Structure 1
């Protein structure tokens, strides 16, 4: 294959666009060493693609810049200025050795303790009453049986 056929095969355009394989890239590098005018052709194709890209560029509308700058200025106006006299609030709690409990929980706990004490008192009271009733009943039964004989 002669040099003109190699150039017209499209390998240079594919190389500039990065579309050729590693084997084809190695072959092109070897051909560039053998034929220095091939490097000149590669440079010309690169410039042609660059010029084509800049000639076919689509510019944004002129009013787009004004709209963007207007949005930026509007957002700057909305941001409040930081006040020089601000109050610092420490959101890190102190390392306290005590635990604070809400007042309502304290009242509920006290009420539960009182109810438990009343329940214990009533349980002991009725147990003693029951024991006394059992003794009286057992004595009456024994006495009643003794009279029957």
Structure 2
């Protein structure tokens, strides 16, 4: 019966945190009264720890320094400004949500749909446009010249064939 309880999956649910309150209470009772359950639970926890260590990804080298700097900045800010952030009634932030409610987004409305470009880039873009048109004209010219040359070549070939006969 104890082995059947161990194999039921309740231990795995407990270790992963998905067990219900009733299952947790039952497991704690079984753990206290049956050493086999306690041993199986410790083995499962050790196995899960090994799996987590093998699948772990090492963070970038400066991650801890960035976290430490952020914490230091928060601590210093709280020491310098004893007032806590308070929500005021007269604010005009209609899209504001508390961070505990999940991600929040701020809607941005543009006045127009035109892209603004620095003046120097306007000349560069104009030059690229003009050069594109020039290259297109050259491409059409050389295409027509090539077609004309092919027609003349075919005429010369037919004349040569007629002379050889």
TM-score range, shorter chain: 0.3 to 0.5
Structure with higher RCO (Cα < 8 A, 6+ apart): 1
TM-score (norm 2): 0.35
TM-score (norm 1): 0.38
Which has the larger Rg? 1
Between Structure 1 and Structure 2, the one with more helix by share is 1
